[in-house]
Structure 1
Amino acid sequence: MRNCVVTVLDTTGIQSYIFGSNRLRENIGGSYLVDRATDEWAKWALRELGQKLNQTIHIYDPDRPADRPYIEDGELAAELVYAGGGNTVLLFQSLDIAKQFTRILSKRILADAPGINLVAAHQPFDWDNESLCKVIQDLIKNQLDRQKRERISSSPLLGLGITAACQSTQLVAVDMSDNHGCPMPYLVSGEIVAKLDAVKAANDKLDDTLFDRKLPKKYKIALDFDDFGRSFGENSYLAIVHADGNNMGDRFQEHGKKAKSNRDYITAMRELSDSVRRAGLTALKEVANAVVNSIDSDDKVKGKFTIKDKKYLPFRPLVYGGDDVTFVCDGRLGLELAAIYLNSFKDQPAADGKPLSACAGICVVKAHYPFARAYELSEQLCKSAKKFVREQKEEWGDEDLSALDWHLAASGLFGSIGEIRQREYQVTEGDLTMRPVLLEHDYQWRNWPNFSSLIQTFNKNEDWKGRRNKVIALREKLREGSQATIQFLKAYSIKNLPQIQEAADEVQDCGWTEGHCGYFDAIEAMEFYISLNEEKSNEHLSSKNQAIK
Structure 2
Amino acid sequence: MAWVHLVLFEAWNITRFVFVTNKRREIAGASELITYLDRRWVYEALGRVFPGFAEEWRVEERPAELLAAGAGSVKVLVRDRESAVRLVTEVTTAVLREAPGLDVCGVVSEPFDWAADGQLAEAVRQVHRDFAAVRTSRPGPDARFLRLPVVDECATTGLPAAVLVAQPDGGGEPRSAESLAKWVAYGKRDEGDGLARLAALAGTTPQALGRVVRYLSDEAEWVGVVYVDGNGLGQVFQHFERCVPDGTNRSYADTLRGFTTGLQECAEDAFRAAVAELSGPPTEPDGPGGPDGRDRVVPVLPLILGGDDLIAQCDGAVALPFARAYLRAFERLTGERPEITEALRRGGLAPRLSASAGVAIVKPHFPFEAGARLAYALLREAKQVKAQVAGPCAGLAFHVLYDSSDADLARLRGQATLGDGTRLVAQPYVVSDVPADEGWMRGRHWHDLVRRVAALRAVDEDGERLLPAAQLHDLRAGLFLGREVADARFANLVSRYRGRGLEALAGTGDSLFWAEPSGRYVTGLLDALDAADFVSAGAGS
Q: Do the two structures share a fold, i.e. TM-score over 0.5?
A: yes
| Residue from 526, 536, 539 that aligns with 2:532 | 526
- Whether the aligned pair in 2 keeps the contact of 1:125 and 1:135 (CA below 8 Å) is no
**Paired AA for residue 46 in structure 1:** L
| Residue from 73, 87, 99 that aligns with 2:85 | 99
In the alignment, is residue 385 of structure 1 matched against residue 385 of structure 2? no
Q: CA deviation at 1:136?
A: 3.3
Matched with 1:458 is 456
Q: In structure 1, list runs of 5 or more residues that go unmatched.
A: 60-65, 231-235, 538-549
Rounded Cα–Cα distance in structure 2 between residues aligned with 1:306 and 1:2? 57
Q: CA deviation at 1:225?
A: 6.2
Matched with 1:63 is none
Q: CA deviation at 1:70?
A: 1.9
Rounded Cα–Cα distance in structure 1 between residues aligned with 2:37 and 2:82? 21
In the alignment, is residue 83 of structure 1 matched against residue 59 of structure 2? no
TM-score, with normalisation over the residues of structure 1? 0.83
Matched with 1:245 is 230
Matched with 1:360 is 357
**CA deviation profile, 1:372-423 (whole Å, cap 9, x unmatched):** 111011011101111x223213xxxx21111011111112243631222113
Rounded Cα–Cα distance in structure 1 between residues aligned with 2:102 and 2:195? 20
**Paired AA for residue 183 in structure 2:** L
Matched with 1:222 is 212
Rounded Cα–Cα distance in structure 1 between residues aligned with 2:528 and 2:253? 47
TM-score, with normalisation over the residues of structure 2? 0.84
Q: CA 1:185–1:411 in 2, change beyond 3 Å: closer, same or farther?
A: farther
Q: CA 1:220–1:160 in 2, change beyond 3 Å: closer, same or farther?
A: closer
Q: CA 1:218–1:86 in 2, change beyond 3 Å: closer, same or farther?
A: closer
Q: CA 1:160–1:312 in 2, change beyond 3 Å: closer, same or farther?
A: farther
Q: CA 1:128–1:392 in 2, change beyond 3 Å: closer, same or farther?
A: same
Matched with 2:315 is 330
In the alignment, is residue 72 of structure 1 matched against residue 60 of structure 2? yes
Matched with 2:189 is none
- Whether the aligned pair in 1 keeps the contact of 2:24 and 2:213 (CA below 8 Å) is yes
| Residue from 127, 131, 135 that aligns with 2:122 | 135
Q: CA deviation at 1:294?
A: 5.2
Question: Pairwise mapping of residues 324-473 of structure 1 onto structure 2 (< 5 A)?
Answer: 324-348=309-333, 349-350=336-337, 351-353=339-341, 354-386=351-383, 388-393=384-389, 398-414=390-406, 416-428=408-420, 430-440=422-432, 441=434, 442-443=436-437, 444=441, 445-460=443-458, 465=466, 467-473=468-474
Rounded Cα–Cα distance in structure 1 between residues aligned with 2:408 and 2:198? 32
| Residue from 103, 107, 111 that aligns with 1:121 | 107
Q: CA deviation at 1:41?
A: 1.1
Matched with 1:282 is 269
Rounded Cα–Cα distance in structure 2 between residues aligned with 1:428 and 1:244? 33
SS in 2 for 1:528: coil
Rounded Cα–Cα distance in structure 2 between residues aligned with 1:165 and 1:506? 55
**CA deviation profile, 1:33-85 (whole Å, cap 9, x unmatched):** 1111243211111011123xxxx5342xxxxxx3xx62123xx2211111124
Question: Pairwise mapping of residues 182-193 of structure 1 onto structure 2 (< 5 A)?
Answer: 186-193=173-180
**Paired AA for residue 276 in structure 2:** N
SS in 2 for 1:21: coil
Q: CA 1:178–1:237 in 2, change beyond 3 Å: closer, same or farther?
A: farther
Matched with 1:7 is 7
**CA deviation profile, 1:94-134 (whole Å, cap 9, x unmatched):** 00000111111122111111111121111112101252442
**CA deviation profile, 1:435-487 (whole Å, cap 9, x unmatched):** 11111442222111110221012111669636111221222223323322332
Q: CA deviation at 1:178?
A: 5.4
- Whether the aligned pair in 2 keeps the contact of 1:342 and 1:358 (CA below 8 Å) is yes
**Paired AA for residue 212 in structure 2:** A
**CA deviation profile, 1:350-391 (whole Å, cap 9, x unmatched):** 4231212000000111111111111011011101111x2232
Rounded Cα–Cα distance in structure 2 between residues aligned with 1:285 and 1:294? 17
- Whether the aligned pair in 2 keeps the contact of 1:132 and 1:265 (CA below 8 Å) is no
Rounded Cα–Cα distance in structure 1 between residues aligned with 2:476 and 2:256? 51
- Whether the aligned pair in 2 keeps the contact of 1:6 and 1:90 (CA below 8 Å) is yes
Rounded Cα–Cα distance in structure 1 between residues aligned with 2:86 and 2:53? 14
Q: CA deviation at 1:425?
A: 4.1
SS in 2 for 1:168: coil
SS in 1 for 2:156: coil
Rounded Cα–Cα distance in structure 1 between residues aligned with 2:490 and 2:374? 36
Q: Percent identity?
A: 21
Q: CA 1:535–1:339 in 2, change beyond 3 Å: closer, same or farther?
A: closer
Q: CA 1:334–1:130 in 2, change beyond 3 Å: closer, same or farther?
A: same
Rounded Cα–Cα distance in structure 1 between residues aligned with 2:37 and 2:207? 29
Q: CA deviation at 1:490?
A: 3.9
The number of aligned residues is 500
- Whether the aligned pair in 1 keeps the contact of 2:10 and 2:72 (CA below 8 Å) is yes
**Paired AA for residue 175 in structure 2:** V
Q: CA 1:158–1:86 in 2, change beyond 3 Å: closer, same or farther?
A: closer
**Paired AA for residue 94 in structure 1:** D
Further displaced range: 23-32 or 435-444: 435-444
**CA deviation profile, 1:203-258 (whole Å, cap 9, x unmatched):** 11112222178xx986655234644744xxxxx22110001111112223444334
Rounded Cα–Cα distance in structure 1 between residues aligned with 2:178 and 2:256? 34
- Whether the aligned pair in 1 keeps the contact of 2:224 and 2:361 (CA below 8 Å) is yes
Q: CA 1:132–1:44 in 2, change beyond 3 Å: closer, same or farther?
A: farther
Q: CA 1:536–1:204 in 2, change beyond 3 Å: closer, same or farther?
A: same
Q: CA RMSD for the aligned pairs?
A: 3.0
Rounded Cα–Cα distance in structure 1 between residues aligned with 2:359 and 2:180? 30
**Paired AA for residue 227 in structure 2:** H
Rounded Cα–Cα distance in structure 2 between residues aligned with 1:299 and 1:267? 51
Q: In structure 2, list runs of 5 or more residues that go unmatched.
A: 187-191, 342-350, 516-520
SS in 2 for 1:362: strand
Q: CA 1:255–1:454 in 2, change beyond 3 Å: closer, same or farther?
A: same
Rounded Cα–Cα distance in structure 2 between residues aligned with 1:85 and 1:95? 25
In the alignment, is residue 295 of structure 1 matched against residue 282 of structure 2? yes
Q: CA deviation at 1:168?
A: 2.4
Rounded Cα–Cα distance in structure 1 between residues aligned with 2:325 and 2:12? 31
| Residue from 50, 53, 57 that aligns with 1:57 | 53
**Paired AA for residue 100 in structure 1:** R
Rounded Cα–Cα distance in structure 1 between residues aligned with 2:218 and 2:454? 24
Q: CA deviation at 1:268?
A: 0.5
| Residue from 303, 325, 344 that aligns with 1:318 | 303
- Whether the aligned pair in 1 keeps the contact of 2:26 and 2:182 (CA below 8 Å) is yes
Matched with 1:542 is none
In the alignment, is residue 475 of structure 1 matched against residue 476 of structure 2? yes
**Paired AA for residue 473 in structure 1:** D
- Whether the aligned pair in 2 keeps the contact of 1:7 and 1:90 (CA below 8 Å) is yes
Q: CA 1:40–1:418 in 2, change beyond 3 Å: closer, same or farther?
A: same
SS in 2 for 1:369: coil
